[in-house]
Structure 1
């Protein structure tokens, strides 16, 4: 997926009626820093600031 802005925020909402002790979340990095980034061509990092489970 290609985005034109520098920040991508996703707020998916999934409603399930399960009980669980653990959850697994998978996230995929874009791979390399895009052309507009100061680290152009270098390895991209992925950060997750908040994950809320109710």
Structure 2
């Protein structure tokens, strides 16, 4: 699933796009997202919005 951030961070500007890699069973543990070719980042689910798939 593709997502976009809905917050600004020093490492990640608002609206950054990524793909969900792992959804943890405990909601407090967050969701692992891969942004571009970078490492996984753990984000809380309320900091993400669905992103539309790019048109081919």
Q: Structure 1 length normalisation: TM-score?
A: 0.25
User: By percentage of residues, which structure has more strand?
Assistant: 2
Does 1 or 2 have the higher relative contact order (CA < 8 Å, sep 6+)? 2
Structure of larger gyration radius: 1
User: By percentage of residues, which structure has more helix?
Assistant: 2
